[in-house]
Structure 1
């Protein structure tokens, strides 16, 4: 019986346990399936209604349970909304990335826009809000954000906010992470509110205008005892105090003050932040030498001092304690003003993964301290004064290297098959003294720059098999010969092909073109012959084509209209035929000079709104200059280029005839605005519409058969630096408005039939070369043998205008009377002396001729 009772009790207890266990499981299941709070759901819907969402990122915001909506997180226990993850899935494309890697179109389509509803304040338990990489079109960061008292994470970076940051954010006493960087014209006049954020560990105000905050920014930041990371890059800060008596942020790990305007030496108190693992002072104007006290930063892993004005000597002592250093950048503005003075056999205590030194003298030998860096992933040593050969044993050590840039040195030798970098994707050995054949051992390289060396021989015929991943190949300015191999056009990923200034011959590849991603081709200054193949029209992405200074002939193939050309340079060949009608509307540069083109300038070209360089000089073009050229928008407003060259780091070069000579432009080519139609057979007059091109810098219409007057409004071309109208049949006066060309540096009006007075004033006063007007027999003026009626006989210049005209008139009158008085004095003196002598001669005739001769000589001596 007792056993039965025990059994019953056990079963009862067990059943209670089972019930309790079941109850607990049910409770847990209920918590897992808890739904969001109704008022918070309505708050989110109200927030959604204020936004535009072109990509439908908020399309899941329907139904009763907002906890299941995309970007929304709730507390599993209470159902309260705690997190909003609404950052753009496409990262904000910085300006230099607009056309490269991160397409601007996809980013823009995914941006949330509109107003941010204050209904978010109903989310009382919200602790995480991320609105980064959207586009709020210049609105201010809402003040009510300061009412979200439970926020611990706030990120509104890269979201196109503007205006002053609301000090109400100082109410967020629980905030740990605050990121406001890279917004449009955000600023602050006072950062005192920061001192209330005592829990803040991460602060990023990058690209934030703090110039109006004065020294207040440093005081406010120094009041944050928990701060671990501080990013103030590009904040227009100008000064740092020479000392800081008390440093509160002693636990700071990361300090980024890059891209500001500091111009002092590197300050001592910065080097007292001994907890730092990352210090970025790049892109400022820090001066002087690197302090010895860098030895205090024993925990430093990342040090960036690039793009400053640091000079002097770096010794082993300054680097001896940096045992954790992995990332080191040091570049200066002045070539080799910073010298590494370490013993040749010195072995540093660190093992670097990233090293960039530019304009720092570490040569002439390839140093031992560099040879022992076997863990390098990224190495840039440019302008380093190295004139040694690359040690082969070092090449075998750096097996993890992915980026190698040794450009602008004097490194010698051949690159044999033993130079194998198995993981390198980027190699730049430009402007050294390497010789021999093109190296073939870079199987994984994507970007290969070997320009400006002495490489010789042919381009390998199987280059597409040896380096199949190439997307940029630059072999310019070498001694390469032979033909362009067909396999080079089989590189599927090729975007840039640069073979400029070699000795290549033969024809361009006619078939087998598979490089559909090709953007830029520059094979200028070679010995290529034959025609431009129509198969180049298959390069639908091609936007720059430079084939100048070869021996190409035939017509421009119409298939090129299938490309995306924005710049075409075919100058210095033997091409012929009419100018193409199909030129793309996006084109910025047309350079076809020194060919055999004929026909007229197509009126269709007047619609090229981005055109800023039109060079058709030295051809056989006839007809008149189109009157519709005033439709060339870029030349009217001077907004010349969209700088397409940045897409793959390519900077186009071109020889431009301006200011009376040939000049080579590269980085500034985008600012050149020119129309050069010289050396053709153009007839008719100069259209008045040309004077609407106020952004034009060079206008050359010389060596044609133009007639008529120079347009009277020529002075409207206010930015004109070069004007050449020589060797035409122009007649009539030189317009007075030409004196308004205040930028004019080169003028040639010679060999026309111009007449009348040469205008004076402003810039024309400095152009005092008579050859400007040579060959115009009916012109007159102070610079010419023919003086105008009423001009002074003196050789000095005649001033006809200016703010001091009255004073000059008075000075001229005084000068005139001065010379009159001198003249009268001379006459009176002359006859007084001569009269006396003549009387003496008559009265003392007996004294003879010798006496008279002596007196006359004495007279001559006096006047000499």
Structure 2
């Protein structure tokens, strides 16, 4: 059965090959001759008119002149016998500089025998597809793909009944086809490509339409067509000849894998990638024995286990399943693949799934494998020794798994290897010359272990070794590459990307490295101990990234070519002012971080005009002067951190022109004045930290009116006054509110209970919005949060002049972790339903005027680790709780004269009760002791009597025992008498001897 199917496929492919060969021969046979294929004059003039309306920047059509035989022109083919033009192939096979443009002249209609027209990959700049093409009835082949036309073709192309190949893929930026009804007239169609067309309005029977009208269809390409419905079944299927099916990049969003696909027994190529298919990987793929190409990648929802049956598709050359949720053991799958005789697999991509298991030694049987990608899974074990058998392997990606052990030196036998990425695993041991010895074609190398592990992978390579390769991309991170700068790279003069992040290098950048004269896209040497000054001779390509963070570099801030767009120099020893020339020399800078250095002086005013800037971090330096004005041209700027400096003056109103600003940190300066009202325009703001300044005035209500996305608001330790604006309660996403250390007055708004973010868990998207760091007073001390900032839920209103009662509504914020209302003038009682704050860790109500008892519910708060009620007017007994009465500092309750109970003094009335209880306990103990004595002697007497009568009663009734017992007693008496007499005689003998002496 399989043999017949395979023979059928071969016959179909041979037929197609012969068919197109015959067409090409018929079109092309006269293209290079002048004896037989002399072109017809009228058709020549028609072509010259076509040439007049075309733009040809690369002069591709220079041969189109009146003096030449048009059958010999570039892109033109004629019939050998008649001289008629039958083929025009103007496809741009070169760069964009060779694109034809202009308009298509109707003179094409004069080419009445034209069968082949290809205008693809040019740029007609949105001109309409000429309608007269619909009148060219002899066309067999039409390709307008990627030609930048506009308009719809459905009105006129449906009449080309002889058309066999139609390729309209991405022919327009806005293709206007809405359905597939217009193609019904193309009855001879064998190849259809409508990629990029808008078919969102196609009815649910679109596939049935194709099946019913094109039984001879060999290839169907409908990628990125906005199709919404993928039928799970079809009433009838007439696509037995179909070899290629491409439905990738649509929006099917289905949970049922289409079963009709498995009836396409001749299918060779299947692409359903990027379609939001949520189903198990079907076993029925085993039916598609002719399949050579299968791509189900980037559906994200294809799950289930990786089946052995899929591994038995022995004709498979390409299998791409990355970016799904496929689980299972990879070992069995690879074992199944290896069982195929003459295995054809060349590409295997299973990255970004949930696969486990080890790579088996049978991997070495996949000898035709060129591309193996297994990134971001949970694979374990080491790389098998048989990897050395894969002599055709060009790419190996094992990034971010759980693989461990030593690296096999057999990697060094992969002579075809171009890209090798084995980073972010748990390798240990050494990397030596043997691992790299024969990789003469290697261009990309990435090696490293996972951050945070205690495993060490050490490069043990002689500094005098010369590698056989010329790398363009090199990444060595979280390894021991140092302590010296790797001298074996001295001849690597083709590098464009270098990443030595956390590589254990404690050295200066050597001169020979600078003299390599590299032109870099990426230079990352962060988290080492590199010293000295940064060389200023580095050269960078456009959009280059430079990261030298967390080293010991010193001297002035280095500047290089204008191509650098990202510059990270934080945590070094750079000193002096920020160079005034930074704006001129780095005009394309988008990310600048020179925080945590020793910079001084003022911020260059020109930085406010760097209109490409997206992030600016100058924090933790010694900068002085005023905050610079920012131009409204900085449309990309979303991050500003100039905290922990010595800036003074007011926050400029121009800051409000930064409409995309999301993160603003100006804490730890000497800024004064009121918040500029223009900040209300920053409606996309996520985080504001203005703490530790001299800012004054009212906290503006517009914070809650326009900044609805705000997650963090910290203005602690300033001079703000007046009431807390009610509009603050409108900030439904707020997770951190710190207004402490100001002069605020009035009451705590009861609408705090409406702040929904303190009641729900963060989504992943919301968590990603928390960037940077923030100081928060929690658990009795000032803590700085970094990566866990998104977990903090805090309200701090301490050290103000707030009065009134604590609103009971605040207890509805059950996700609250820190509530600090200390050092105010709050009165009334503590809310009784405090048990609702079940996640609270820090509760500080100290130094107020709160009265009444401590609610017993507080004793049920299991996560409470820092608690302070001192210096209030609380009364009554401290609630009974293990956490309150053991290992608790009594000072958390002090200053409440009427408060009693452990760990403070005992409450009035407890002493008498305790004394009386003690006496009662003594009497009870004495009575219990006497009763125990009576019972003890009674039991002893009873035991004696029972033992006596059991023994002597038995002797009385059993004669043999009685005789034996008497004999035993008699023997004992005789032996005793004998030993006694012997002892007495010995003693008398001794006495007589002493007397005689």
- The answer to whether the Cα contact below 8 Å between 2:519 and 2:539 also exists between their aligned partners in 1 is no
Instruction: State which of 595, 614, 621 in structure 1 corresponds to 2:737.
Output: 614
Report 1:293-372 matches (<5 A): 293-333=410-450, 334=453, 337-372=456-491
Aligned residues: 757
Single out whichever of 302-311 and 169-178 deviates more from structure 2.
Answer: 169-178
Report 1:598-747 matches (<5 A): 598-639=721-762, 642-643=765-766, 651-747=771-867
Question: Using the alignment, how far apart are the partners of 1:146 and 1:36 within structure 2?
Answer: 30
Tell me if 1:30 matches 2:154: no
Q: 1:228 to 1:573 in 2, by over 3 A?
A: same
- The answer to whether the Cα contact below 8 Å between 2:601 and 2:623 also exists between their aligned partners in 1 is yes
Q: 1:470 deviation in Å?
A: 0.3
Q: 1:511 deviation in Å?
A: 5.7
TM-score, normalization: structure 2? 0.70
Structure 2: tracts of 5 or more residues without a match: 1-35, 37-78, 87-111, 116-136, 143-156, 167-172, 198-209, 934-997
- The answer to whether the Cα contact below 8 Å between 1:227 and 1:249 also exists between their aligned partners in 2 is yes
Tell me what 1:807 maps to.
none
1:554-579 Cα deviation digits (max 9, x unpaired):
11111011112111111110111111
- The answer to whether the Cα contact below 8 Å between 1:404 and 1:424 also exists between their aligned partners in 2 is no
- The answer to whether the Cα contact below 8 Å between 1:594 and 1:619 also exists between their aligned partners in 2 is yes
Instruction: State which of 83, 87, 108 in structure 1 corresponds to 2:223.
Output: 87
Question: Using the alignment, how far apart are the partners of 1:117 and 1:623 within structure 2?
Answer: 65
Tell me what 1:228 maps to.
346
Q: 1:787 deviation in Å?
A: 4.2
Single out whichever of 518-527 and 504-513 deviates more from structure 2.
Answer: 504-513
Structure 1: tracts of 5 or more residues without a match: 1-10, 12-16, 45-53, 89-109, 796-811, 829-864
- The answer to whether the Cα contact below 8 Å between 2:425 and 2:449 also exists between their aligned partners in 1 is yes
Instruction: State which of 130, 136, 156 in structure 1 corresponds to 2:272.
Output: 156
Q: 1:291 deviation in Å?
A: 2.1
Q: 1:270 deviation in Å?
A: 4.1
Tell me what 2:393 maps to.
276
Tell me what 2:667 maps to.
548
- Partner SS, residue 747 of structure 1: strand
Report 1:449-848 matches (<5 A): 449-510=568-629, 512=631, 514-563=633-682, 564-583=684-703, 584-639=707-762, 642-643=765-766, 651-761=771-881, 764=884, 768-787=888-907, 789=909, 820=925
Question: Using the alignment, how far apart are the partners of 2:218 and 2:337 within structure 1?
Answer: 28
Greater Rg by CA: 2
- The answer to whether the Cα contact below 8 Å between 1:398 and 1:421 also exists between their aligned partners in 2 is no
Q: 1:32 deviation in Å?
A: 1.6
Question: Using the alignment, how far apart are the partners of 1:819 and 1:451 within structure 2?
Answer: 75
Question: Using the alignment, how far apart are the partners of 1:161 and 1:755 within structure 2?
Answer: 64
Q: 1:766 to 1:490 in 2, by over 3 A?
A: farther
Tell me what 1:379 maps to.
498
1:782-818 Cα deviation digits (max 9, x unpaired):
21123475589999xxxxxxxxxxxxxxxx99x9689
Tell me what 1:238 maps to.
356
- Partner SS, residue 561 of structure 1: helix
1:721-775 Cα deviation digits (max 9, x unpaired):
1111111111222222223322222111111122223223475566622222222
Report 1:16-415 matches (<5 A): 26=113, 28=115, 30=138, 32=140, 58-59=177-178, 61=180, 63-64=182-183, 70-71=194-195, 80-88=216-224, 112-116=227-231, 118=233, 121-189=237-305, 191-212=307-328, 215-223=331-339, 225-240=343-358, 243-244=361-362, 248-333=365-450, 334=453, 337-415=456-534
Question: Using the alignment, how far apart are the partners of 2:914 and 2:435 within structure 1?
Answer: 72
Q: 1:589 deviation in Å?
A: 0.7
- The answer to whether the Cα contact below 8 Å between 1:58 and 1:70 also exists between their aligned partners in 2 is no
- Partner SS, residue 401 of structure 1: strand
Question: Using the alignment, how far apart are the partners of 1:663 and 1:429 within structure 2?
Answer: 27
Q: 1:138 to 1:653 in 2, by over 3 A?
A: farther
Q: 1:139 deviation in Å?
A: 2.5
Q: 1:731 to 1:126 in 2, by over 3 A?
A: farther
Single out whichever of 610-619 and 184-193 deviates more from structure 2.
Answer: 184-193
TM-score, normalization: structure 1? 0.80
- The answer to whether the Cα contact below 8 Å between 1:128 and 1:154 also exists between their aligned partners in 2 is yes
Q: What is the RMSD of the two structures over their aligned residues, measured on CA atoms?
A: 3.7
Single out whichever of 502-511 and 220-229 deviates more from structure 2.
Answer: 220-229
- Partner SS, residue 851 of structure 2: strand
Question: Using the alignment, how far apart are the partners of 2:559 and 2:887 within structure 1?
Answer: 57
Tell me what 1:428 maps to.
547
Tell me what 1:106 maps to.
none
- The answer to whether the Cα contact below 8 Å between 2:349 and 2:374 also exists between their aligned partners in 1 is yes
Question: Using the alignment, how far apart are the partners of 1:823 and 1:336 within structure 2?
Answer: 65
Question: Using the alignment, how far apart are the partners of 2:336 and 2:773 within structure 1?
Answer: 49
- Partner SS, residue 699 of structure 1: strand
Q: 1:660 deviation in Å?
A: 0.8
- The answer to whether the Cα contact below 8 Å between 1:347 and 1:368 also exists between their aligned partners in 2 is no
Q: 1:445 to 1:181 in 2, by over 3 A?
A: same
Question: Using the alignment, how far apart are the partners of 1:372 and 1:335 within structure 2?
Answer: 32
- Partner SS, residue 727 of structure 2: helix
1:486-509 Cα deviation digits (max 9, x unpaired):
111211111001100111111112
Q: 1:59 to 1:366 in 2, by over 3 A?
A: same
- The answer to whether the Cα contact below 8 Å between 1:134 and 1:158 also exists between their aligned partners in 2 is yes
Question: Using the alignment, how far apart are the partners of 1:402 and 1:791 within structure 2?
Answer: 81
